[in-house]
Structure formats: structure tokens, C-alpha cells
Chains A and B, each alone.
Chain A
Amino acid sequence: MRQKTKFLIIAVLLSSCGHLDPTPYQASDQGGFGYVDRPIATGQYEIQVRGNTATSAYTLERYFNHRATELCGGDNYESFIKHEKETEIHDGRLTGYYFTPTTTSAIPMVTGTVTCKSALPQAGIVPIVPPVAQ
């Protein structure tokens, strides 16, 4: 009986560790996941969206567009989007004194600029519902 309970506890722990939820739509957190943005000119913003390994590039692009909509007060913007990969090093080896990464993951990220057609946010905007991560 005791062994069964132990097995169950271990199984539950392992299953909870293995599951990773996609990064939700959010401002960048301490781990660097989420969006960051800043104005680079009047009515022009730079946006970067980064997610964890469970977040698809498509989702990140939707987050990018959602943030652009928030910044420009609607869909009145033009954007230049570039899909990139963020390399994360998990392990490496030393060849002599030289460090060579051996285990890395390429996490998708989206960077680009947004130019609002109207520099000023429009009044009376309907609140936007954040997109759900896929």
C-alpha cells in the first residue's frame, strides 16, 4: 500500500514537471518572457515578443499584433515583423580552455516596428480582450 502511494506521488510530480504552458500575453516578466516595447519616434514603436519553448511563433506574432493594436489604439498601423530565434544554452564542454555550447534550444521570438497611422491614440476605444496562448 505504501509503495503504491509513493509511486502515485512520484507519478504526479513527474507529470506536473513535464508540462509547460505557453507564455501568456503579458509584459516581459523576470524570466524575459512576454513583450517589451518602446517609442522610437512619434507614433512609432519597437516591439519584441519572446516566449518559452511551448509558445509557437504564430502565437508570438499574434501577441505582437495585439500589442501594436494597444499602442496605436486600433488596427490603424503598419508593421515590419521579423521572426528570429533566441538561443538558450543548457550545457557545454570545454575544449582546452574554450567553451563550446553542446545543448542549446532555439526559442522563437518576434521583433519589429510599428508605425501608427494616427500618432495620437483614438478616443473611445473598445477594450481589447487579450489573445489566449495556443
Chain B
Amino acid sequence: MKIIKLSFASALMALGACTHVGQTWVRDYDGNQLSITSGKVGSDEHFINITNTNRTWVGSYKGGEYMVPARKEFLKSVAESEASQICKGNFAPTKDISYEMLDRSPGLFGDGLLGYAVASALSEYENLPTAAHYHFQCPNDDGYDAAKAIAPSAALISTTTIEQTIVTGGMPQPQTPAPVAPNAAQQNAVPAPVATPDAATAAPATTQPTTPTNVPYQGGYLNAPKN
């Protein structure tokens, strides 16, 4: 609980400092309405906040505690897709993605400790996580600082990096965190929702790379899963 509290507080502090909110998009994923807000923190860092505005997870993501990891993975993949759109390709996460594990606004029951305690007590796994916060940099930006980047997500390590490891052989050498380089498929693909707890940790599903200009708009966002 302390960790959640601290991460929430740090997210609020980070967002409060020189935050410029850019755009908000509303997306529907299998009946789950996500509000995706992006903007900049300071001059060189971007943020993405994804909120499940309906609070309750439905469709393929409906379920109890066992579905929470799958939803987290899903929110992360949406954030990464959004980041690659904003950066027009490569992006470098600067913080680990954080999730809100309260099923309502803490302020709803008062901003004090009591209000927070009530909100925490009312949180149930059917609604969690309610939101995700993602911070990253675009290498193409003027103020890009490679030192701020953390290690990229394993799911999005570029094929180039893997090939280099195979060619050189031996133990992988520690590398400076590199910008994530998702390929076309990763930019457009969102992992298919999973129904079992074991499948929750599976790698995101990918599709064949396609040229964006040849893909007709299908109504959803980034080939969102549909029933």
C-alpha cells in the first residue's frame, strides 16, 4: 500500500511540475473506454496517462484478481503504442510504468487520509488497475537526454539488438539503455486480451508488418481487439 501511495504521490508531483497537457483521445477496446492523455513534463520528457473512464473492466478483460496482470500488460502495450506514435518511431522510457490501484478518485471521499483509506477499502480487483502513467523521451527531440532513459521493455527490444548478440556470442555485455525501436507491427499491434492467469505473462501478440498507408482505417485504434 505504501508503494502505491508513494507512486501515486510522485506521479502527482511529477505531473504538477511544468506539465503541459497536449491531447486527450478516447478509445474503445472491447467495450472498455480508455481516456488517453498525453503531454510534456518540462522540456524533454513526455507523459501518457491512460484511464479506464468506465471504472469497471468488461469484455475480455472482465474478471477478478487473476485478470489484473493482463490488464496491466494491456495498458502498458497501449502506452507503448501511443509513445511510438508520439515519437514517430523510437522512444525511451524514463520511468517504470506506474498503475493506479484505486477504483475511484481518492478525492471522492475527501482529500485527507480518511478519504484515501475509504477509497482503498472500496477498491476491488474487478476494477483494477484504473489508470496507468508512463514517462518517456523521444530521441528525435532537441532536449533528448540518453542518461535519463531506463532499460527498454523486453517485449520491445529491437531485432537488431538480438541479432548483434547472436553474432558476437558469449555473455551479453551491459549496454547503455537504448531507445526502444518497435517495428511496424509493434506500433500497430495491441496484445490480444487473455482469458487465463497463465496466459497473462505471455508475450504480446504481433501481426505481420504492414505499411501504415496501405492499412484502411478499421474504426478502432491500432488494430484493437474486437469481438
User: A interface vs B, CB < 8 Å?
Assistant: 28, 32, 36, 38, 40-42, 44, 48, 50, 80, 82, 84, 86-89, 92, 94, 97-101, 109, 111-113, 115
Contacts and interface: CB of A to CB of B under 8 A. Distances in A.
A111 B221 CA distance: 9
A111 B213 CA distance: 17
B85 interface: yes
Interface of B: 23-26, 28, 33, 35, 53-56, 85, 103-104, 122-124, 126-127, 212-213, 216-217, 219, 221
19 contacts: A32-B26, A36-B25, A40-B212, A44-B212, A48-B25, A48-B26, A82-B217, A82-B219, A86-B26, A86-B33, A88-B53, A89-B55, A94-B122, A97-B124, A99-B103, A99-B104, A99-B122, A100-B56, A112-B217
Contacts of A80: 216-217, 219
A92 B104 CA distance: 11
Given A28-B24, A40-B85, A98-B126, A89 B213 contact: no
A48 B123 CA distance: 32
A91 to B, nearest CB: 12
Contacts of B221: 111
Given A36-B23, A40-B212, 5 more contacts: A32-B24, A80-B219, A98-B56, A99-B103, A111-B219
* From B26, B33, B85, B123, residue with most partner A Cβ within 10 Å: B26
A44 B213 contact: yes
